[in-house]
Amino acid sequence: MKPAALIAVLALAATSAHAQLDFGRLLDSGKKVLDATQKAQEASKSFTVEQEVQLGEGIAAGLLGAMPLAQDDKLQRYVNRVGRWVALQSERADLPWSFGVVQNESINAFAMPGGTILITSGLVKRLNSESELAGVLAHEIAHVVKKHQLQAIQSSANTELLATVGKEVGGAAIARRGGDQFGLKSAAANMGIDVIKNGVFLRPLDRGMEYEADRAGMVLAARAGYDPYGLVSVLQMLQANRGDDGSFSMFTTHPAPADRISELEKLSPGMEKFAGQPQAEGRFRQNVPAPK
């Protein structure tokens, strides 16, 4: 897809009244990379919320360069609406949450620091209900709420990333002291792009983090009024299709579905009373094209 066409798609996806993030701006953040020169060993220090958001936007810019948004405005609005409703039940409801579907046949989803979450069209097509969609998004929301990716990035920044991103974060520190908010934002966004280039973002998270996100996501889905077992249904589908084809890239970055299901079963005593909450299959099919 030509850049002009991609920009148009990004802008279209952000027209929903629920969208809090201009996806077109993500592409711009990928192009407007400042050539910072200072190095500083501040890569592992805590990020402000603003820096966290900008870091996530930089990562999203890198992902969208490889996986453009699906050209389905109705689908984008629907997924964004469901995701934002679930996110509002979290402890970080005030983040600028935004959700999008990327055109890619792999089975995966990505949570960026600061509240940007992308899910592949391949995964969406495998789902059967809104409660399953909510369960997947709730898992990713939990990663953001718990700052799992940020912790992983900071840990990596202490080693191989320090040389490449130190200058950007150092520039952010200088900008913060000097009151240069544009410089601070750009430096954080630049670091996000470097994180993609170095492959750190696509590496597996700690198993404990994945299990924690599963548990917290199940609770979030229940709070949002959905059958909390939507995520379990998705994990069962993943388990049944483990040897299906090479599209299940999620297997390389997550614990085995059977192990995740076993961990979630420990929550069953407290979740059973919510099991009768809606799965919303009909509404899901009204907004998500049936697999061909």
Contact 119, 138 (CB under 8 A): no
Tokens of 137: 């998004």
d(CA 156, CA 222): 34
Report the predicted TM-score, pTM, of the whole model to 2 decimal places. 0.75
Backbone angles phi, psi at 247, to 5 degrees: -80, -15
Query: Does residue 139 register a pLDDT over 50?
Result: yes
d(CA 101, CA 252): 21
| Percent of the residues in the chain that have a pLDDT greater than 90, as a whole number | 45
Contact 205, 144 (CB under 8 A): no
- From residue 112, how far is each of 32, 53, 118, 144, 200 by CA, in Å? 19, 8, 8, 7, 12
Over residues 18-31, the pLDDT tens digits come to 343 455 555 454 44
Nearest-5° Cα angle at 159, 154 to 162: 75
One-letter amino acid identity for 76? Answer: Q
Tokens of 224: 């949002």
Name the residue with higher pLDDT: 53 or 29: 53
Which region, left, alpha or beta, applies to residue 114 given φ > 0 means left and ψ of -120 to 50 means alpha? left
Sign of CA dihedral 83, 85, 91, 96: positive
- 3-class secondary structure, 260: helix
What pLDDT does 224 receive? 97
Give the confidence band of 161 by pLDDT, cuts at 50, 70, 90: very low
Over residues 110-137, the pLDDT tens digits come to 999 999 999 999 999 999 999 999 999 9
pLDDT average, residue stretch 248-272: 80
Contact 277, 226 (CB under 8 A): yes
Query: Does residue 159 register a pLDDT over 90?
Result: no
Query: Does residue 34 register a pLDDT over 90?
Result: no
**Beta-sheet strands, E only, within 190-250:** none
Mean pLDDT of all residues in the chain? 75
Over residues 168-213, the pLDDT tens digits come to 444 444 344 444 444 445 555 555 555 555 555 566 678 889 999 9
Smallest CA-to-CA distance from 41 within 152, 166, 151, 165 is with 166
Tokens of 23: 């996806």
Name the residue with higher pLDDT: 267 or 45: 267
Smallest CA-to-CA distance from 277 within 172, 80, 130 is with 130
Contact 82, 224 (CB under 8 A): no
